[in-house]
Amino acid sequence: MSILLPIEVSLIAGTVFLFLPKKLEGFTRVVSPLIGSLNFVLAIILFFNYSIPSYASKYFMSDLLSRFIYLGIGFFGFVISLYGAGYTKKSEIRNPKSEIKNEKFSISDVNKFFAYFFLTLGSAFTVAVANNLILLLVFWGFLGVTLYLMIQQGREGANEAAKKSLIIIGASDCFLILGIGIIWQLTHTLNITEISLTTHYSLLISVSFICFAIASFAKAGNMPLHTWIPPTAATAPIPVTAYLPASLDKLLGIYLLARCVMSIYVVSPGLSSFLMIFGALTIIFAVFMAMIQHSGRKLLSYHAVSQVGYMVLGIGTGNPIGIAGGLFHMFNNAIYKSCLFLGLGEIEKNTGTDDLDSLGGLAGKMPLTLFTMLTASLAISGIPPLNGFFSKWLVYQGVINTFGSRNAFIPALCLIAALFGSALTLASFMKLIHSIFLARKSTHISHFTFHISQLLIVPQFILAIACIALGIFAYPLIVNPIFKKMLPFEVVGIWRPEMATGLIIVGILVGLLIYGVSRVKVRITPAFIGGEKVTPDMKVSGADFYLTISEIPLFERIYSWAKRNFFDIYEIFKTWVFFFTRMFRLVHTGSLPFYLLWIVIGLVIILLIM
């Protein structure tokens, strides 16, 4: 079977949907999940049984790394197409008392949404199997355009977020072009399988590697090129956020970095440390930003950035087990991060808000969503035996393995940052789950009518079960001969997720048995808060759990800088650009005599020089 088939199906479907009349939106909603399912099935088949047409063999490749990414793209294309079919259906947020009717969480043009969706999917498939760097570059750039178009379909502020994403990713594409140009100058080939460069003794080769790393950082959302992700998450439709910043962009950005380290370059210890440092900084700074957020979207967006740090840290180690951990964490993160965004999207559709202060008490109204989001929250926090623990464990081993090959100071700091970041991740997700599901119900949503759509729940369940399955069966999957062929390494330690899961289940059953036999009497008492009388309107806000962190002198200054966009590379460059353009605007007044005066002055200067 040709590996080009899913590419052709996706691009044709996207083009057809782009020109369908609005009255056929129902048809688009029905057909899109079927096309997504077909692509996923084809990706599974092609993982094991693939072929490349002879006319395309020079431009496409299908090694294990490409097929692994190809399979991931197909999986997320299927899940988000299913969720998108339910999300794009018009629904009103109903509050009988205030008669609120709000449709801001629906997508106005369904045909365009799925057109851009499948054009993005086809382009992502192409990038994953492109052997020619120019082919990769063209579709890599096209993904930036479709990202811009998909973000624009969001709520107020989406246009600004779309513009910001296009400028940051577009600017990083310029570096990618420069890197490709240097490779062509040095090797006179553009085929990835024919390139092998070492960065140890050549400044020019090191520059080309950094150019590729910049493009990877911008696409995946690693610091300091991450600042397009929070505004995108805050304004874009939830399926778009789950599809691009949370899944596809992570897969492609980290794929490019892994391809550089595994195939194109032999990376020097200095550049390897460069990647590890930026990975560790991303973990810490982003998780601290997440902890103080009051918006569910913003909180998840900063964690989407923080988790990229683990991937970059693992790949930056340069050893097989660290790279395997980075790639496995890339896939795991896309799973639980998409699950969290999809769960939040369902909450928004029912309540009209993602503000953590305005939510609470939804455990009884949305128990299935509680299960999926709790599972994903534990997975992203690295709680065993879920998938996030195993991939982080591999990253930790990769960092430890670098101790003997270089100065241990930097790897030791990176390891501490990764472990500390994981603990803070758990703390911030305790805040999220408490604020949405366990806190006292807010008056904002106390009278809302909840409608639970199967099309919104099923994709969450698929992802939540994947978090469990990939955690329990991670060991046999990683040591499978197929993956061993791609990255030969030995896992150190005695951790066995199957055994741990069995012991956890036995412990729960024994606890329930003891509870049943002992006939413990349960007494319910009113809440005690220092003797203060509890009134019905009192509510402990989970959103304020870690507010005191921002009041610590050092952290207070850092958070203040962050609010003033001190760390936002986009805002920094925008300020400088506007500074220089303001000078030009002073002389471009729109007055014809003034322009003629400048022409005369210019001619006089030229004549004097000549």
Tally: H helices and E strands in the chain: 23, 2
* Cα Rg of the chain (Å, integer): 26
Whether residue 369 lies inside any domain: the answer is yes
Of 187, 259, 255, 260, residue with least CA distance to 220: 255
Whether residue 147 is found in the same domain as residue 95? yes
Nearest to 218 by CA among 159, 149, 290, 167: 167
Structure-derived torsion over alpha carbons of residues 167, 173, 178, 179, reported in degrees to the nearest 10: 140
One domain, residues 551 and 575: no
Residue 160 lies in a domain: yes
Please check whether residue 355 lies inside any domain of the structure: yes
Residue with tokens 């088939």: 5
Amino acid code (one letter) for 447: H
Both 178 and 316 in one domain: the answer is: no
Q: How far is CA 55 from CA 2, 4, 256, 432, in A?
A: 12, 12, 25, 52
In the listed set 162, 197, 232, which residue is the last one of a domain according to the structure?
197
HSE value, Cβ hemisphere, 13 Å, CA-based, for 244? 31
pLDDT recorded at residue 127: 93
Nearest residue to 435 (alpha-carbon basis) of 300, 337, 323, 275? 300
pLDDT tens-digit map of 122-156? 999 999 999 999 999 999 999 999 999 888 887 77
Burial of 318 (0-12, 13-18, 19+ CB in 10 A): buried
Amino acid at site 586: L
Of 145, 177, 197, the one marking the end of a domain is: 197
Closest CA to 75 of 117, 52, 42, 115: 42
pLDDT score at 540 = 66
588 with 544, same domain: the answer is no
Q: Would residue 349 count as lying in a domain? A: yes
Q: Identify whether residues 121 and 191 lie together within a single domain.
A: yes
Residues 135 and 15 in one domain: yes
Rounded to whole angstroms, the Cα distance separating 282 from 395 reads: 15
Determine the pLDDT at residue 447: 62
Q: Report pLDDT for 96.
A: 47
Query: 410 and 394 share a domain?
Result: yes
Tell me the whole-structure pTM to 2 decimals. 0.88
Residue 448: its pLDDT value, please? Answer: 62
Decide if 260 is inside a domain.
no
Q: Give whole-number Cα distances, 90 to 112, 239, 297, 306, 445, in Å.
A: 15, 15, 21, 34, 20
Contact 300, 103 (CB under 8 A): no
Are residues 579 and 507 part of one domain? no
Instruction: Tell me if residue 494 falls in helix, strand or coil.
Output: coil
The amino acid present at 313, given as its one-letter code, is: L
Q: What is the pLDDT of residues 411-455, one digit of tens each?
A: 899 999 999 999 999 988 998 998 888 877 776 666 666 677 788
pLDDT for the residue numbered 114: 92
Model pLDDT, residue 539: 64
Assess if residue 306 is contained within a domain: yes
Tell me how many degrees the CA angle 111-354-388 measures, rounded to the nearest 5. 90
Give the per-residue pLDDT at 208: 93
Q: Which amino acid appears at position 604 of this protein?
A: V
The answer to the question of residue 224 being in a domain is no
Tokens in use for 599?
A: 């022409």
- Is residue 227 domain-resident? no
Q: Do both 146 and 186 map to the same domain?
A: yes
Q: In which domain, by residue range, is 400 found? A: 267-512+539-564
- Helical packing angle, 296-316 and 249-259, nearest 10°: 10
**Tokens coding 202:** 């050549």
Instruction: Provide the CB-side half-sphere exposure for 290 (13 A, CA).
Output: 31
Positions of the chain with pLDDT lower than 70, given as ranges: 90-106, 405-406, 443-450, 492-493, 527-544, 587, 589
Backbone angles phi, psi at 222, to 5 degrees: -85, 150
504 and 575 part of one domain: no
In the chain, the number of structural domains is: 3
Residues 387 and 431 in one domain: yes
Asked whether residue 309 falls in the same domain as residue 176, the answer is no
pLDDT of residue 536: 63
